[in-house]
Amino acid sequence: MPDLVKQHKIMLSAPGDTEDLCSEAENACHDDEKPAATESSSPEITVVAMGDSLTAGYGLAEEDAYPAKLERRLRREGYKVRVVNAGVSAETTSDTLSRLDWVLSMKPDIVILETGANDGFRGFDPAGPRENIDKILTRLRAVGVLPILAGMKMVMSLGPAYVADFDAIYPDMARKHGVLFMPFFLDGVATRPALNQDDGIHPRAAGYDMVVENILPLVRKAIAQRRK
């Protein structure tokens, strides 16, 4: 059963906020850095995509989920990179935190963190996912991993006060930890039937193409930082 409960159709808060949040983050959301000429002689970069069913690619073949698409795109551009799909359906931020040691055992250079939607759909107090994401980012930074935080926006049916508290988690944590930040993981995908499966929540392969386009500049930037 998918983690993002089917009865909750996406009715997202202020999708137009993405550009404003992007400008507020310490690191620009869009960057055109391409691989240096020395990329071919550099060690392979390991990127671990950590998250719930939105990362796992619920309902799709593994090669159609965004981590596989991201790896293919980066390799076409000349990057020596491996992208590991560490998404687990039905996962909450507590679950993500609990398996962080396993993710770190892969020796990642970069971790793309997409988590929290299930906390929101289950009505968990936003203080919980805020604390868990804070702990995850603290741990990643402490061991020298470069995090990319992907934000989530909660359904408006949960009420404006809850949505405001939940949505604020991600820009707050990005600023606190100074990490690369994608304000909304499903930007340009949510609410578009052609890009989503019948549940209205999980992207189709074409939806993940959009996710890759949105996150690609941040991944390029993280690779450049790791190469320094």
Choosing from 31, 64, 199, 209, which is the catalytic residue? Answer: 199
Is 53 annotated in the active site? yes
Q: Of 99, 160, 163, nearest to 135 (Cα)? A: 99
What would the two tokens of residue 173 be? Answer: 């944590």
Determine contact, residues 56/86, Cβ cutoff 8 Å.
Answer: no
Cβ burial, residue 158 (10 Å; 0-12/13-18/19+): middle
Choosing from 17, 109, 187, 202, which is the catalytic residue? Answer: 202
Choosing from 53, 109, 167, 177, which is the catalytic residue? Answer: 53
Is 202 annotated in the active site? yes
Is 209 annotated in the active site? no
Which residues are catalytically annotated? 53, 199, 202
